[in-house]
Amino acid sequence: MIQRLPLPFALFLGALLLPVGAILLPLFPEFGIVTLLVATRLLGRKFAWAMRFNGWIDRRWHAIRARLKGDPNSSRPALWRWIVGALVIVLLWQVVGSIATIFVVVNSGLELEVFLPEGGFGAVPISPERAALILLAILLSFVPFFVANLIAYRYILKERLARLFTQTGTFSVRRMLFGFSLWIVIGLIGVAAVALLNPGVVEWTFNPAGALPYVLVALLLIPVQTIAEELFFRGWLLQWSDNGRRRRTTLAAINGVLFALPHLANPEVAGEDLVRIVGYVAIGYVWAWVTLRDRTLELAIGAHAANNISAALLVGYVGSAIPSLSLWTMDRIPVLQEVVLGLASAVVFAWITERFGVTRSEKLGDPTQA
């Protein structure tokens, strides 16, 4: 088929696919190799270097094909199970989740410009009733995401559900609450530093009148949202990418980038503020790093819940992807300050969680080297 394509079109298509494959290779080797295989075969019709490169890619492709079938002598699930499971999870999340969101929006009479305000939430006050409805519509979409992770792990990977949460045999609620509390403290210290550096940027905005429905929705569904994201990013994707040969830092870096990608749709990183995505990469990195270190999701689940509950109820910010009825609201701060704050929070969280308390890897031994 490749040989039948007109040469100019084949070279054009190969030139497009080559950088795409190079980007996918470290993130999703299974898809990157296939993309590069097609690209080099297309370019190889004219360029000798592409044919030589294609030989190396072809050898990698044969290795991946063997992994797709699975190693009968290995306890690791076959590659096709990881791929199919990931597709099922994302499909159920996006399709069923969107249906749930649309149902709430339509039946509550929310206008589109209210549900999706230009520039995000926080700049213009919103009634508590509408804030609760919008939050419900957004967070309800994560319920099928949460369920999909459990279904795929149990029935597609055919693994015990406990292993999705922890590889150590036990899950410590106490350590999860430690991660929650620590992230709250780090966040509040960061907000205090921002307030000192930028007088007037943090303002008291809380009004208790009519706030109870919003608070209930936040406390009930934000944990569902954050656990669903942790099960997928630090559970499913991290276990998939951890083939026993990659270093912890590499795995965490890949996971941080993957975690940041869906957040590119958030209003706070739109346009010229794109550099703020570095904060998401840093946070995704450290939550993946402590998960690999401890071989359990305890700290990541706690910290992620703290992060989102804090944004909803403690310190909201202008440009947020969700409405908040928080005690304080923070206006936009200089990009450099936000990036530094995200990086510093990640470093402090990793250091304190290793410094205080015995980690799972110290108890059981960690085969992944830092």
* DSSP class per residue in 105-173: HHHHT--HHHHS-TT-BSSS---HHHHHHHHHHHHHTHHHHHHHHHHIIIIIS---THHHHBSSS---H
Residue 370 confidence (pLDDT) above 60: no
Q: Cβ contacts of residue 231 below 8 Å, gap of 6+?
A: 146, 149, 150, 153, 164, 165, 297
What value does the mean pLDDT take over residues 311-328? 93
Question: Tens digit of pLDDT for each residue in 117-140?
Answer: 888 887 788 899 999 999 999 999
pLDDT at residue number 74: 67
Q: Please answer whether residues 35 and 17 qualify as being in contact, where contact means their C-beta atoms are separated by less than 8 angstroms.
A: yes
- pTM for the structure as a whole: 0.84
Report how far Cα 274 is from the mean position of its chain's Cα atoms. Answer: 17
Q: pLDDT category, 215, cuts 50, 70, 90?
A: very high
pLDDT for residue 53: 87
Element (H, E) at 348: helix 335-355
What is the Cα–Cα distance from 269 to 267, expressed in whole angstroms? 5
CA dist., res. 355 & res. 347, Å (int): 12
- The pLDDT of residue 222: 98
What is residue 73's predicted lDDT score, i.e. its pLDDT?
64
CA-derived radius of gyration, the chain: 23
1 pLDDT band, cuts 50/70/90, is: low
Residue 366: pLDDT above 60? no
What is the model's pLDDT at position 235? 97
In angstroms, the first-to-last Cα distance of the chain is 45
pLDDT at 312 over 70: yes
C-beta separation of 179 from 298 below 8 A: yes
Q: How confident is the model at residue 367 (pLDDT cuts 50, 70, 90)?
A: very low
Distances (CA, A) of 181 to 102, 252, 299: 34, 23, 10
Which of 65-79, 111-125, 143-157, 232-246 is predicted least confidently? 65-79
Q: How far apart are CA 237 and CA 258, in angstroms?
A: 9
CA distance 245 to 19: 25
